[in-house]
Structures are given as structure tokens and as C-alpha cells.
Amino acid sequence: MTLYDPTLAATPGLVRRRSALRTSIAIVVLAVAIAVIAYTVPNIAELSEQARENAEDASRARYRFLGGFFPIAQIILFGGFGVAAIIALAGNGTRMWVREATGSRLRKRFEGYHALSAEQFEHLHAAFASGDPAAYTPLPDQVKRGNGVVFVWTADADRRGYVGMTWGSAAKTTRNAPLIRLEGEDFDRLDSALRRGLRRAAPVVVAGADEADAVGPVAAEADAVGPVAADAPASSAAEAEAPASSPARIYALASNRLFWQPGDPFVYPYAVDLRWDGQQWRVEMSEGVTFSAVAAIVSVDEALSPRWAAHIEKAEGGWLRPYLQRIASGEQVSGDELAAAFERRHRRPLDG
């Protein structure tokens, strides 16, 4: 975890604790190394002679010659083992990351190196943050020394997953993107994607069916690490009947970089997305790019509070307020209606 250790250390709720198993192994290795060296050093002359005599019957002359140096090689070898054990005991080799609240160990489930542009890296980070495997799988093919690194750790007993992403072509310039936390149903979907190796597209799950009964994979986008899809559902009735466990549909409705293109003057981004999980609407507030990106998923009522007023205005999302107010009052607002309103306002398809 060397690349991402600084970010994990700065994450509240995660601590490093010594592993009893790793510590025991390091102590045993150190004890054996000390015992072998302690026996070999005072008896090196005798052991060299014995080794030379045993090597005299060797078929090759160099083996007969090198036989006398066996005790020295033994001292060097076990000396290396001892040094490695000391480093492990003194450093982080015998420690592991755990959740402080529960003591559950973070198990590293994936580490992949990918060739990504800065924009692709940003899109992939946002896709993981959405919690929807259809957005982040399949991952691009791994390449040797790829400048984009993806780490995934899980605390299975707590249904918690953590996704860390590092970007940069040289060690001194490598930077870490904000740690992504996935829990509950988002963790379950991540766990399922990990079992597929993150290399296959997420299956389409039929309402009321288990994932094993999926009807087929989701069609991959042309850019495997493109932004989260913003597909509109067929109807509000379909939304009402969708199971709570189905992946959330995300509607990227407001952003001050909606028409921004690479090469344009930099604009610090603010965005407001609506998420439909089959039962209720949630609002995702996000800002920043790549390493400065942060996001919060809040209720519709909270999104309408003064706390988020400035963010919504910066994201040029003031036109969403009437729809949010209708949802907060209990009125049904469908994804189709939101998509149509977006298209009327911006003269382009929502998924364009």
C-alpha cells in the first residue's frame, strides 16, 4: 500500500495496528537468523573444511572450489533474513490497516495499473464514487508501469469498501485522489464486481431476480472510463416498482462545465446530479477535478437547505429548484420529465 499510505493515514476512522500473525512470523525468522549466525561464526573454519570435503566429489571444479565458502554464504543469507525481519518489526511490515470503530481489517482485493489521461482518470474516479458497477466496469486493460493505479480494499464484516486512485508517471510526482468509501448496497455491488475481477461489465439485473439470473452484460461505452451514464428510465411507474437493491440511475443535470471542452480556459467545476435508487431521489453535490474532487450525497430536503444554495448556483442548477421542491412535497417526478427539461433548456440530449 506504499503509494496510498499517506491518504489512508489521513482518513478519519482508519488506523494501523500490529498484526499478531505477521509479528510472530517476523520474530521467528529473526530468531532463526540469529541462531544460525551465532552457530556459524565461531565454527566457520570447521564448517568451511567440512563443506570443502563434501564438495570434493562434485562433478564440476567450480563447485569443489566454492564449497569452502558455504558458511560465508550462509551468514550473508541469514543476515539478510534477520535485517528484513528487523525492518518489518520496526516499520509497517507487521502492521495492517483496520477500521478503528470495529477493528475490521482492510483486505486489499485489487491493485491495477492502467494507462489513463488526466480526463480519463477523473471520469473513472467519478464512476467509482457513483457506486454503480455499470459505470466503472470493465476497467481498462492493465499495462506495465501504467500512470493510473487503482486500489480496492474491503472490510467485509462491516460491508465497507474503499477505492483509492493514484495518478502520475514518476514516483516523486505521483498524487492520490480522494479516498472513495462504498458501504451497504454499494459495497455489495463492488464485492460482486471484484469477484468478476473488475474486467467484465456489470450484468443487467431483472427486477426480482438475483444477480446470477442476470439477462446479460451492460453494453460498454466507447470510452471504458467515460463519465457516469445519465440514462432516463422508461417511466415513473417503472421507477416506483424498481427494487431498492437495483443500481442507482444518475442524472447529470447541472454543471458549470457542461459545455467545457479540453483546451478551453480552466473552469473550477461544480455539479449537481440526481440519483434514483428505485424508491427515492437523492442529490449528489460535487466539485473539483481529479485530486481536489469532493462529493456529498444528500437528501432532497437537505439539498434545498441554505447550506447548499451557493453550490447549486455555482453549478448553474437554479432551474432544478422547482423540481426538487415538487419531490420534497411528495409529488412524483420522473426521470423522463427531468431529461426533457434538461433538453429544452440546453438544446442537447441529457446523455449527449
Q: Which residue, chain included where needed, has cell 442529490?
A: 283
Does 8 fall in a domain? Answer: no
Q: Let me know whether 213 and 243 are in one domain.
A: no
- pLDDT tens string 263-273: 778 788 899 99
Q: Let me know whether 134 and 54 are in one domain.
A: no
- pLDDT tens string 57-105: 554 554 444 555 778 888 899 899 989 889 888 777 777 888 988 989 9
Asked if residue 256 lies in contact with residue 269, where contact means CB atoms within 8 angstroms, the answer is yes
Q: Which amino acid is at 225?
A: V
Q: How many Cβ atoms from other residues are within 10 Å of residue 10's Cβ?
A: 10
Does 1 fall in a domain? Answer: no
Does 338 fall in a domain? Answer: yes
Question: Residue 142 pairs with which residues in a beta bridge?
Answer: 114
What is the structure's pLDDT at 66?
A: 53
Task: Grade residue 202 by pLDDT with cuts at 50, 70 and 90.
Answer: low
Q: pTM for the whole thing?
A: 0.49
Does 308 fall in a domain? Answer: yes
- H helix runs in 131-197, sequence order: 133-136, 185-195
Question: Residue 95 pairs with which residues in a beta bridge?
Answer: 18
Q: Let me know whether 255 and 332 are in one domain.
A: yes
Q: Which of 29, 58, 93 delimits the end of a domain?
A: 93
What range does the domain containing 130 cover?
108-221
Q: Let me know whether 89 and 164 are in one domain.
A: no
Q: Does pLDDT of 235 surpass 80?
A: no
Q: Let me know whether 209 and 276 are in one domain.
A: no
Range with lowest mean pLDDT among 6-15, 94-103, 150-159, 224-233:
224-233
Q: Is 306 helix (H, G, I), strand (E, B) or coil?
A: helix
Q: Let me know whether 217 and 236 are in one domain.
A: no
Q: How many Cβ atoms from other residues are within 10 Å of residue 246's Cβ?
A: 18
Distance CA 234, CA 265 (A): 38
Asked if residue 214 lies in contact with residue 315, where contact means CB atoms within 8 angstroms, the answer is no
Q: Let me know whether 140 and 198 are in one domain.
A: yes
Q: Let me know whether 166 and 50 are in one domain.
A: no
Does 86 fall in a domain? Answer: yes
Does 101 fall in a domain? Answer: no
Distance CA 65, CA 110 (A): 48
What is the structure's pLDDT at 56?
A: 62
Does 15 fall in a domain? Answer: no
Q: Let me know whether 62 and 116 are in one domain.
A: no
Q: Let me know whether 297 and 321 are in one domain.
A: yes
Q: Does pLDDT of 231 surpass 50?
A: no
Q: Let me know whether 186 and 117 are in one domain.
A: yes
Structural domain total, the chain = 3
Asked if residue 352 lies in contact with residue 255, where contact means CB atoms within 8 angstroms, the answer is no
Selection from 307, 239, 306 nearest residue 277 by Cα: 239
Q: Which of 195, 221, 247 delimits the end of a domain?
A: 221
Q: Which of 44, 69, 93 delimits the end of a domain?
A: 93
Question: What is the chain's alpha carbon radius of gyration, rounded to the nearest angstrom?
Answer: 28
Distance CA 239, CA 333 (A): 10
57 burial (CB, 10 Å; 0-12 / 13-18 / 19+) is exposed
Q: Let me know whether 191 and 302 are in one domain.
A: no
Does 13 fall in a domain? Answer: no
Mean pLDDT, the chain, whole residue set: 79
